[in-house]
Copies of this chain bind each other. A is one copy, B any other.
Amino acid sequence: MNQPSQPSPARNILLRLAYDGTDFFGWQIQPDRPTIEGTVAAMVEKISGEKVRLCGSGRTDAGVHACAQAANVKLHSPIPCPNLVKALNRVLPDSIRVLSAQPVADDFHARHHAVSKFYKYRMYRAEICPPWLSRYVLPYAYPLDETAMHEAAACFQGTHDFRSFAAADQDDSEIEEDEEKSCVRTISSSELRREGEELIYTVQGNGFLRHMVRNIVGTLIEVGRGRMAVASIPQIIAACQRSAAGPTAPARGLHLVSAGYKPEALNAGSFI
């Protein structure tokens, strides 16, 4: 009866997050600078009173947006997941929304267990970009051979060593300890399409190197400008040299659409 209450066991909770990355210094927590991870972790702490660490499916760069980033957090608080969503959305800035929270297996790790990532990159092709889109698209009104870009986009599909598209400063010392040192990734879908004035590149794969999507887009733009040939894409990939590919496209057009997991990785068993 008068025994001290047991502390609740920690639940592992998967959060899905949407954010406008414009005003943040990227995902990863940094002292004295607003980041997505830092802001969400601070609000989880405010609600639960627990010091927590968020583990994201990957780090998004400064200015990059997310439609449904995934991150897990270990929490002792018994707050029901729907209440956690509501409580977080009440205290977070409007630029970050928690879409859902669900209990997952104790050993679930949002980065290690991610089996796919889906990104889109939005370009705006008309002369004048409406102010309400300019945070989310790269305005690009100059002529582009979109047919050539479409063909070039398809060349990225398949399993390749994408070293030519890795951030120039991505060397072994920068790679996280548990990250695969290989630059081999499998791209299952790589497509360019028009939607009104928007030219949208979508790419899905089992993983991406830092800056990889932005470097692919920068290369596609070079193809569109006629400065690189569609036929050269396989050679650019094969070169395994950053200097072979095009420049890094600006962050503002990039959106992490979602991160995919196998159902068995998520399964929290009897835990609710």
A residues bordering B, Cβ < 8 Å?
A: 18-20, 65, 89, 94-99, 128-132, 134-136, 139
This chain: copies in complex = 2
19 residue pairs bridging A and B, Cβ less than 8 Å apart: A18-B128, A18-B131, A19-B131, A20-B132, A65-B131, A65-B132, A94-B131, A94-B134, A94-B135, A94-B139, A95-B131, A95-B134, A97-B128, A97-B129, A97-B130, A97-B131, A98-B128, A99-B128, A132-B136
Distance to closest chain B CB from A87 (angstroms): 13
Where chain A touches its partner, the secondary structure class is: loop
Q: Are B89 and A131 in contact (CB under 8 A)?
A: no
Residues of B within 8 A of A94 (CB): 129, 131, 134-135, 139
Most buried by B among A99, A128, A136: A128
5 smallest A-B Cβ distances: which pairs? A94-B134, A20-B131, A95-B131, A97-B128, A19-B131
Residue of B whose beta carbon sits closest to that of A130: B18
> Which chain B residues border A130 with CB–CB below 8 Å?
18, 97
Complex formed: what's the CA distance from A89 to B128 in Å?
8
- Report the Cα distance A128→B19, complex, angstroms: 12
Other than the known A65-B131, A94-B135, A98-B128, what 20 A-B pairs have Cβ atoms closer than 8 Å?
A: A18-B130, A18-B131, A19-B131, A20-B131, A20-B132, A20-B134, A65-B132, A89-B128, A94-B129, A94-B131, A94-B134, A94-B139, A95-B131, A95-B134, A96-B131, A97-B129, A97-B130, A97-B131, A99-B128, A132-B135
